[in-house]
Amino acid sequence: MNAKIILKPESLTFLKNYLDNASPTGAEKEGQKLWMDYINPYVDTLFTDTYGTCVGVINPEADFKVVIEGHADEISWYVNYIAEDGMIYVIRNGGSDQVIAPSKRVNIHTKNGIVKGVFGWPAIHTRMRAGKDEPTPKLENIFIDCGCESKAEVEALGIHVGCIITYPDTFEILNDNKFVCRALDNRMGGFMIAEVARLLKENNVKLPFGLYITNAVQEEVGLRGAEMITQTIKPNVAIITDVCHDSTTPMIDKKIEGETKIGLGPVITYAPAVQNNLRDLIIDTAQKNNIPFQRLASSRVTGTDTDAFAYSNGGVASALISLPLRYMHTTVEMVHKNDVEHVIQLIYETLLQIESNHNFNYFK
């Protein structure tokens, strides 16, 4: 397979629609609908669970089950307090970064639809006073202004405590090969596993096992969707795809974060939760197919849904293939088109190497 021709124009149209749609943690439904509509022609059946994780299945009757998984949710905010002057204060939903909030436009999701607002911030003229420390954005001092002059006016728009707030930033391509958007972490994962399903269908591949293409919810608050769905599927093997840091950008210490860079290929992780024989199969597959890859070590946990799958059901052979990304948990997350294609190719080619009842046990 030529990785340069993996992504079709229709694929990129879906990717833009999928990324531009909000899918905040705990409210992923609309994004999941888009994903299921796209993947439906490439699978035998689809099912969902109570909290919104979606699974497309190929060969649902097979006893041996392999999962390929990404997570569907993006970080966001909750309305936490509405002041009498109409200003709105927030708490995190996932790992939202208060430092990037000031001057950002926001969408406040209500039952009446989206209400627009902005994260306000005092002008530099008023902050730079002699003898005063420059204020920094904190959860206690960032606030949203939706143009209202009172709490009653805010509430009349349908805004209440618990409404979810997302950023409206949309997908674009820089310099022909850099994908930029909010929520690449990790709707790129959902996109890539959907593309694997498409390639399997278009190439008429007959897998000797059941393949469960899984788009899990609530990863950003503790791998919760993966924890639930692995108990439902009870897989034998799980290959997870998520994002990791491009540590070559300014202000990152490579001695702490390791060295991985966008454009140099998928990142294969070494960690206790990663099953060594499965990881070695992935590396052998990359080398055999001339797919560039990078290595990363994770201390104790991977911090991804890999951990949830690996330690479930008495132990599931699990591995992590990551997409290197710049500016994680900002609205300008950036990945390289070539890496996206190579992750898709590596998952696809790895699946072709897995046998029915494949034994990854260390002691055979």
| Segment 150-188, tens digit of pLDDT | 999 999 999 999 999 999 999 999 999 999 999 999 999
What pTM does this model have?
0.96
Is 237 a residue whose pLDDT tops 80?
A: yes
Whether 233 contacts 209, CB under 8 Å = no
Q: Please name which of 327, 323, 315, 328 lies closest in space to residue 339, comparing C-alpha atoms.
A: 323
Percent of the chain at pLDDT > 90 equals: 95
Whether 266 contacts 244, CB under 8 Å = no
Mean pLDDT in residue range 34-54: 98
At residue 5 the predicted structure's pLDDT band, cuts being 50, 70 and 90, is low
Whether 75 contacts 93, CB under 8 Å = yes
Average pLDDT for the chain? 96
Whether 243 contacts 323, CB under 8 Å = yes
Q: What is the DSSP string of 195-249?
A: HHHHHHHHTT---SSEEEEEEES-GGGTSHHHHHHHHHH--SEEEEEEEEE-TTS
Percent of the chain at pLDDT > 70 equals: 98
Query: How far is the C-alpha of 48 from the C-alpha of 246, rounded, in Å?
Result: 33
Which pLDDT score, from 0 to 100, does residue 134 have?
84
Secondary-structure percent of the chain, ordered helix, strand, coil, rounded to 5: 30, 25, 45
pLDDT in tens, 68-101: 999 999 999 999 999 999 999 999 999 999 999 9
Three-class secondary structure of residue 70 per DSSP? strand
Residue 306 one-letter amino acid:
T
Is 117 a residue whose pLDDT tops 80?
A: yes
CB 21: neighbour CB atoms within 10 A? Answer: 18
- CA atoms lying within 13 Å on the CB side of residue 199: 24
Whether the upstream peptide bond of residue 313 has omega within 30° of 0, thus cis, is no
> Which residues make beta-bridge pairs with 117?
106
Is 314 a residue whose pLDDT tops 60?
A: yes
Is 3 a residue whose pLDDT tops 50?
A: no
Three-class secondary structure of residue 80 per DSSP? strand
Here the tokens at position 175 are 């310099």
pLDDT in tens, 293-303: 999 999 999 99
Is 51 a residue whose pLDDT tops 50?
A: yes
Is 1 a residue whose pLDDT tops 80?
A: no
Which pLDDT score, from 0 to 100, does residue 153 have?
98
Mean pLDDT in residue range 1-17: 81
Q: 88-93 and 76-82 as β-strands: parallel, antiparallel, unpaired?
A: antiparallel
Residue 325 one-letter amino acid:
L
**Angle, alpha carbons 149-80-308 (nearest 5°):** 150
Q: What is the DSSP string of 259-327?
A: ---TTS--EEEE-TTS-HHHHHHHHHHHHHTT---EEEE-SS--SSHHHHHHTSTT--EEEEEEEEEBS
At residue 216 the predicted structure's pLDDT band, cuts being 50, 70 and 90, is very high
CB 68: neighbour CB atoms within 10 A? Answer: 26
At residue 125 the predicted structure's pLDDT band, cuts being 50, 70 and 90, is confident
Which pLDDT score, from 0 to 100, does residue 56 have?
98
pLDDT in tens, 247-273: 999 999 999 999 999 999 999 999 999
Is 130 a residue whose pLDDT tops 70?
A: no
